[in-house]
A and B are shown apart, each in its own frame.
Chain A
Amino acid sequence: MDATQLGKGGPRRSLILARLTGNGAFPIETRRMCEVSAEITGMTGAGMMLMSGDVPRGSICSTDGVSALIEELQYDLGEGPCVDAYNLDRPVLEPDLAHPAAGRWLAFRGPAVAGGARAVFGFPLQVGSVRLGALNLYCCRPGNLTDEQHADALVMADIAAQAVLVLQAGAPPGGLAVELEECADFHYVVHQASGMVAAQLDSSIAQAAIRLRAYAFAVARPLAAVADDVVARGLRFDARSGDMERKP
């Protein structure tokens, strides 16, 4: 991978590429992409999420805990700025999560604000008509993006999408590029737990996954934490009563 694979363009693009590859290091680390996204737009933090078939698949990287929370909430709840940016195929801007556009993200916004995010922005990661996911930016204070910040975010999302594909192009056949796994969270424990619950309920994986999510939502816990309990055999699902049983 070298810089020419990320395309040529105007001064804004050159500046971002220079930041990404400042020490001439290739391949570009996904973590560096998130850091530069936050730096050049002057945001508190940034993260990148992979999506497919309208469903979040996991986070490739995030700069900090709040950013990771924003991605995790979207994975758990299926709503938020990245999900919308991906589905609507355009940037999604929420300058004040505490007073959002009517009806926006009823489940997502409360925990996101409590976690420390006041303004959130989603930008699609795409190459031509090929959609990969979305870049999220957040700020701990409310406020709109300036035109400058908005333009930088668009260029950054474009570079990041191409960089992800360039990284994956070097992956072994059938596998995921090692560089993409490095800082990623693809929620493997949730899938392990879905398999266990499917065996417990003698149901399909899809039904088991829904039960897991419904339970996590009902007890207001992160899906990953509930999945951890299942895998540690501290929590079982019962087919007959529909009740959950917590082991000591």
Chain B
Amino acid sequence: MRTLVELADTLVADFDVLDLLVLLTDRCVDVFDLEAAGIMLAAPDGDLRLMASSSEAMRLLELFELQSKEGPCYDCFLTGLPVVNQDLASDAGLWPHFGPVALAAGFRTAHALPMRLRGTVIGVLNLFHTEPGEMNAAEIAGAQALADVATIAILQHRAVLEAQLVNEQLQGALNSRIVIEQAKGMVAEREGVSMEQAFTALRGYARKQNLRLGDVARSVIDGRLTASALSLRPVTDPS
């Protein structure tokens, strides 16, 4: 319970999602007396990738790596159902590659809990024991609650990131439009032409030099490009 409160506090404040996921795997290890815990997320290509782990030991990282193709995480991800209390010694046949490697690494029991959002599974919480033994129903429910917290954290993080990106695009588009209007005014005044003529000159210069209109406008405003260099009027032959 204390773990959930601590995690909820982290969620409310401005949080780094990776820090939160690592914290979550650490707490899993403490609360359920495990050897190791990790969180794997589905990448856009559909493969599972390790996002956070309670330990950086190579033998453990390799185990997560293997599960992009086979293992409790992979099964859990495909079915959306928990895979719990898997005795790696007796169930090794289930996973011909993963099983022996996990045993050799010193692990005996594995669990995988789905990180679900409505119909989709976005990732898996993976737990490892070195001893044979079963998690009881209350422990499994507790672990699933932690997996749900991780799901919420990731979804919140994604929504905010996406909103931030679109807002930056919005502000950027508005800014470059404003800079273009300012440059139009400057050129119109310096060269004694209309706003439309000033715009045509700015756009013509941008096209000819293969530059972005916003960048040309900024150069005009900064004084790096003079209004007269835009060649508003065709150069008349002196002869």
Contact = CB atoms under 8 A, between A and B. Distances in A.
A164 B163 CA distance: 10
Interface stretch (B60-68, B77-85, B95-103, B188-196): B188-196
Contact of A175 (B167, B173, B183, B185): B173
A57 to B, nearest CB: 6
Given A198-B182, A199-B190, A192 B173 contact: no
Interface string B163-178: 1101101111110111
A226 to B, nearest CB: 13
A186 interface: yes
B189 A132 contact: no
Interface string A181-211: 0000010110111111111100001000000
A199 B185 contact: yes
B14 A57 contact: no
Interface residues on B, range: 20 to 34
A193 B185 contact: yes
B181 A195 contact: yes
A191 B176 contact: no
Contacts of A214: none
Given A127-B160, A129-B14, A130-B164, A195 B183 contact: yes
B167 A192 contact: no
Interface in B135-164: 156, 159-160, 163-164
Contacts of A176: 170, 173-174, 177
B195 A192 contact: yes
Nearest to B214: A174
Contacts of B174: 50, 52, 57-58, 176, 186
B210 to A, nearest CB: 16
- Residue of B160, B166, B177, B183 most packed against chain A (CB within 10 A): B166
A128 B173 contact: no
Nearest to A51: B171
A178 to B, nearest CB: 11
Contacts of A195: 181-189, 221
Interface string B204-239: 000000001010000001000001000000000000
Binding site secondary structure of chain B:
helix
Given A128-B156, A174-B172, A176-B177, A196 B164 contact: no
B77 to A, nearest CB: 24
B186 A165 contact: no
A194 B14 CA distance: 39
Nearest to B168: A130
A1 interface: no
Binding site secondary structure of chain A:
helix
A171 interface: yes
A129 B160 contact: yes
A127 B178 CA distance: 25
Contact of B159 (A128, A174, A194, A196): A128
A166 B163 CA distance: 9
B112 to A, nearest CB: 29
A52 B171 contact: yes
Contact of A132 (B167, B176, B184, B227): B167
A101 to B, nearest CB: 30
A59 B170 CA distance: 14
Nearest to A200: B189
Contacts of A200: 189
A21 interface: no
A121 to B, nearest CB: 23
Contacts of B163: 127-128, 130, 165
B186 A188 contact: no
Contacts of A50: 170, 174
A137 to B, nearest CB: 23
B221 A188 contact: no
Contacts of A128: 156, 159-160, 163
- Residue of B164, B187, B189, B214 most packed against chain A (CB within 10 A): B189
Contacts of B160: 127-130
Nearest to A186: B174
A87 interface: no
7 contacts: A50-B170, A168-B167, A174-B212, A176-B174, A192-B188, A195-B184, A199-B189
Interface of B: 14, 156, 159-160, 163-164, 166-167, 169-174, 176-178, 181-190, 195, 212, 214, 221, 227
Interface of A: 50, 52, 57-58, 127-130, 132, 164-165, 168-169, 171, 174-176, 180, 186, 188-189, 191-200, 205, 231
